[in-house]
Structure formats: C-alpha cells, structure tokens
Amino acid sequence: MDKQKLDQMRVTLSKLEDIKNSQESIIDKINHVITDLFQSPDSELEKSMEAAHQKSSDNVDAIREAIDTYEMKINKLENQG
C-alpha cells in the first residue's frame, strides 16, 4: 500500500466533507430567509430561494455520493495493505 497516496486521499476526503458541510450551512441560511418571508412575503424572492434550496440539496446529495464512493476506494486500498 502506498501510504503517501492514502494520506493524500484522506486529505481529499476531508475537503469533500468540508464542502458538504458548507453546502448544508447554505441550506440552513436559505431556510432562514424562507422563514423570514413569512413575516414579509415576497413571492419572487420565495421562488428564488426555493430554487436555490433545491440546487443546494442536489449538491449535498452529489457530494455525499462522491464521499461514499471515495471512502470505498480508500477502504479498498487500506485492506490491500
């Protein structure tokens, strides 16, 4: 097993986790804006925020899938050593 390669893959995995966490934070902030719109309705802004929420949710799903796949590669390399 190439320890250097494995270490680099773990660094990349950590970065992927950070990206996922950032996207989840964006979703939380969008939800706050949507909640605020209950007090001061704006249908155009609400529509935009709902679209942004969906895109961010899709990003989280895609990143989560990438993380799962990458973790399997790491595990496979670890088990070979």
pLDDT of residue 49: 98
Residues in the chain: 81
Q: Give the tens place of pLDDT for each residue, 6-59.
A: 999 999 999 999 999 999 999 999 999 999 999 999 999 999 999 999 999 999
Say if CB 63 and CB 16 are below 8 A apart.
Answer: yes
Instruction: Output the domain CATH number for residue 20.
Output: 1.10.287
The whole domain housing 13 covers: 3-80
Q: Give the tens place of pLDDT for each residue, 61-75.
A: 999 999 999 999 999
Domain total in the chain:
1
Question: What is the token pair recorded at 52?
Answer: 């942004």
pTM: 0.87
Question: What is the token pair recorded at 78?
Answer: 């670890």
**Contacts of 37 by beta carbon, 8 Å cutoff, 6+ apart:** 45, 46, 49
